Structure formats: structure tokens, C-alpha cells
Amino acid sequence: MITLDKLTKVFETANGPVTAADHVSMEVPEGEICILLGPSGCGKTTALKMINRLIPKTSGKIFINGRDTDEQNVTELRRGIGYVIQQIGLFPNMTIVDNICVVPDMLGWDRAKSRKRAMELLEMVNLDPAVFANRFPKELSGGQQQRVGVVRALAADPPVMLMDEPFGAIDPINREVIQDEFLKLQKEFRKTIMFVSHDIDEAVKMGDKVAIFRAGKLEQFDSPDNVLAHPANPFIADFVGSDRTLKRLRLVTVGQAMFDAPAVTEDDTLDRAAGVMRDLDHDFVVVTDRHGRPDGYVRQAVAEAKHGTIAEHHARLPVTVEAGQDLRTAVSQMFTHDVTWLAVTDSQGRYQGVVTQQGITHLLGKTYGAAATAGTAAAAE
């Protein structure tokens, strides 16, 4: 857990004092990621660097897992905190494995133990140890170097990590991949993380909590969902964007928007399919195979105009979506394949129900309609 209590930093300048962090208070629960957001110069990076005392605070308190950081030796404090920066910071004269083992070696780990840990971490980010362990940083791409920077911060198994725009210098394709890899690592290791970003989409994807700063003040500290649905003021509403309802597509699973829709099998008759559609008031019904997997669909017009079994007349499904995937994925598939609905499966491919464009619109509108109207009115004042 990371607790900031009235944390303040005032810089003395030639033009007088400048308050970079103004009585900032927040608490990040153990195992969660908090994304610090805001425009340049808002104080988010200053707040981050006060945690490991790279920048000395003017006043206030910082606690890590209940312990006041003022009571810790600064070297001990920093060695117990993983730190990742945008510029990666690998030592160019050291191999990849030695870079990863820097902090474990400082902490006195057995050499065999630290090297084993490094090899395991490389595998977790899809860098084959046999290929990469003994290379030097200049022999890796930027994305590969950033992966090494992330696992180096995890090497000594610190309870807390600080990340200063760790993926900001990576191209969009590699950034998405590395973000996904990092979330997989976080799911396993459950570190408490403070993460500076300029990207609201990254915050929505990565964060359990979002802290938005302006001019040194913490304007809103909440879950990404609540920040999008209920911006605290016009500044927040403007910062997260007028398309904040669409941003929520990342936060809602297909299963939350799905509805149960009975299916028919390939051996059923078209008459049965027509009856199911009449009962559902739908113009289609999903067809499953003998293993319960969606195999196609039948339109109402076909079922009413023809005779015979469904196997003779059903159309193939162009794509399906898993219940655990987010609505952004579902909507993307709908647009890609020019369809208005998708059959939903579980992780084993078994049929679960249907998600439709209309259902997604209703779900988001129900949650966000009033908030969006209120936010627009507030911004206009």
C-alpha cells in the first residue's frame, strides 16, 4: 500500500516559490495500479519522485505498507522499490542478465538465485534467455530494451513499483504488446504501482485507480470507470475527452452486455428454428454443433421459406467473441465483419449467448447518459 498524506513540494526559483505538489493525499491499495495523469507541469512526476526521495518533499508524509519513509535509510528505501523510466536506463556495459540482477546483487542474493530469477523473468516477457541473456542493450530493439527495464524493476521482488512514462517512447504497436505483457505480469505478482502517463487510454487500460492533477493539486482520484462516468469538474471532463463513453468499452466485458439467447442444433428442423425466433422476437438464431460450439446461424426469412434441417440451410458465422473480452474488441469485430451482433462463447469455445450493437448502446447509454448530460452542462458554465 502507498499512502500520501498532504504531500507538498515547493521549489524556490528566481521568480519566487512554485508549488509543484499541493497537499496531495491518496491511498493506493496493495496490489493495485494507480495511474497519475495530467498536463505537463501538473505535479504528477514530482509526486512520484518524492516517494523514493529522488525529490525531497517540503512537507507531508509518505507511507509504504504503513511505514513512514522518513524513518528509512534512503538507500534501503530505493532498493526496496522497483523503478522504471521512459529512457529505460540500462547499463550499456553490462549484459542483459547482469542488468536484471543489479538490485538482487546489491541486496546480497546468491548469484545462482539471482540469475535463475533473471532467466524466469525474461521468459515471462517473451525474450528467450538462450538468445538474449548475454547480449548487450545496444543489441536489442527499443521494445526489447523496455521489456528488460520492466523485469529489472521486478527482479528483487519489491512490493512497490514506480513507473515514469515507461511505455511513452515506444511505437504504438509495440506499446500495446508490452502493456499486455505487463498486465499479465501484474496479474501474477500483484505489485502496488504508481505509474505516470500522459495517455488517458493507457490509464483506462492499465489502471485500477486514476489520479488526475492540475497545477499541483489532485483534482480527482477514483476508478477509471468513475472518472469517465462522473468527472469531478469541467477540467476533468475536458481532459478525459468528449468520447469518454466510448473509452469505457475497454472497461466493460462482453459478458456484461450479453443476453441469453437459446440456440438450435444442426439436426433441428427449420420449423423449430422459426418457432425459437418467434418466441425471442429475433430475426436470427444461432446454430451450435454437437459440442455446443456456435457453428452458424439461420435467418427468419430462410426458416419460414424453406423446409428441411438446419444443417442444409444455415450460414456460417464470420467471427465469435469470448465473454471475458472487452466491448472494444466486440465492436471492432462488428465493424470489421459488417455485422450487428456476435455469438458469445466461453474460454472453451462453448456458446453462451449473443451481444448486439443495440445492447451495447443501451448499456452504455443507461450508465452514462445522465453523467454525459451533466458533464456537458457543467463544461458550458
Go through the domains of the chain in sequence order and give each one's CATH number.
2-241 (3.40.50.300), 254-361 (3.10.580.10)
Beta carbons within 10 angstroms of residue 131's beta carbon? 10
Nearest alpha carbon to residue 4 among 42, 41, 59, 45: 59
Buried b (16+ CB within 10 A) or exposed e, 177-193: bbbebbeebbeebebbb
- Predicted local confidence at residue 188, as pLDDT: 86
- Residue 100 in grid coordinates: 536484471
More confident residue, 190 or 365: 190
The residue-averaged pLDDT of 312-330 equals 92
Nearest alpha carbon to residue 284 among 269, 266, 303: 303
What stretches of the chain show up as alpha helix (H) in DSSP? 44-51, 74-79, 96-100, 102-106, 111-124, 129-132, 142-154, 172-189, 200-206, 224-229, 234-240, 244-247, 254-257, 270-280, 300-305, 327-337, 357-380
Residue 367's pLDDT band (cuts 50, 70, 90): low
Nearest alpha carbon to residue 229 among 33, 374, 39: 374
More confident residue, 281 or 255: 255
pLDDT of 326 > 50? The answer is yes
Assess contact for 119 and 129: CB atoms under 8 A.
yes
More confident residue, 369 or 1: 1
* 202-211, 242-251, 261-270 — most confident range: 202-211
Residue type, 228: L
DSSP 314: P
For residue range 104-124, what is the model confidence (pLDDT) as tens digits?
998 899 999 999 999 999 988
pLDDT of 225 > 60? The answer is yes
pLDDT of 240 > 60? The answer is yes
- Predicted local confidence at residue 50, as pLDDT: 96
- Predicted local confidence at residue 374, as pLDDT: 47
- Residue 275 in grid coordinates: 418457432
The residue-averaged pLDDT of 243-247 equals 83
- Residue 323 in grid coordinates: 465473454
- Predicted local confidence at residue 380, as pLDDT: 45
pLDDT of 232 > 50? The answer is yes
For residue range 22-68, what is the model confidence (pLDDT) as tens digits?
999 999 999 999 999 999 999 999 999 999 999 999 999 999 999 99
Alpha-carbon distance 110 to 230, whole Å?
A: 51
More confident residue, 294 or 311: 294
